[in-house]
Amino acid sequence: MTTKLTISLVQMDCRLGDPEANFAAAAQSIAEAARRGSDLVLLPELWSTAYALDAAPALASALAIRPSDGGWFGRMAALAATHGLFVGGSLLEARHARYYNCFALYGPDGALHGAYRKVHLFRLMDEEKFLAPGEETVMVDMPWGKTGMAICYDLRFPELLRGYALAGARLMLLPAEWPHPRREHWRTLLRARAIENQCYVAACNRVGVTGNTAFFGASAIIDPWGEALVEAGEVETLLTVTVDLARVDDARRRIPVFEDRRADLY
């Protein structure tokens, strides 16, 4: 199992209800990430549509297993296959006559490696009015080790990421549309989840404005000691950094938090 992983975060301005424009922008960034030698590219939450939730019947598509399945997910899979790397991010999914905020992770061959449907819906953005909540957590076995999948508001629920860590996850991936004025919440919670779980947290947030809501970016990759290896400002950018997953094992040896837990008491 490899311990080195080069990750790129596509911090982009997601145009409301305009998947063609958003796909074109994402494709350009993914091509640049491939040129940089990235193994994994993470896009923001609902990166193809932004929060056009009321248009879900027109904009959502079925989850694709491979590029040939078509739809928006199939096109995302094709981006991964075209550039020979892993690509993850969330899209609107149509499933069993319901709509979901679905984080899909595709591999270099275009095959689906994991699909996580957001379990904690964010009332402040009216998600519960248009979307159904996911009913399961998703941790995937990747070439670099076990990886937990979460979306935006999930960051406020430490139980979710702790569950992944207890099951062996060394990396957490989190696409987001986290707005002003809660930038310091975002920054603090990313570090807290990394420190308490002694793992890497890679989080990609959007920038730009939709209606009266402004998004601040601050996409980041936090290491198991709570240090930001890379962190963006409030403009469109592509962040790239190589992480060493062996540092997770080192942190857990040095401070044996999981061994010292009193699960019998709480």
* Ramachandran angles phi, psi of 243, nearest 5°: -110, 155
- DSSP state, 61? B
Cis peptide before 19 (omega within 30 of 0): no
152 is catalytic: yes
Catalytic-role residue among 93, 102, 127, 152: 152
Place of tokens 């601050």: 218
45, 93, 127, 177: the active-site residue: 45
- Catalytic-residue membership of 146: no
User: In a 10 Å sphere around its CB, with 0-12 CB exposed, 13-18 middle and 19+ buried, how is residue 260 labelled?
Assistant: exposed
**Which of these, 44, 72, 45, lies nearest to 59 by C-alpha position?**
72
CA neighbor of 151 nearest in space, from 27, 241, 235, 51: 51
**Residue in this structure with the two tokens 């006559």, named with its chain if needed:** 97
CA distance 20 to 80: 17
Is residue 102 flagged as an active site residue? no
Which residue among the candidates 14, 118, 177, 199 is catalytic per the annotation?
A: 118
> Known catalytic residues?
45, 118, 152
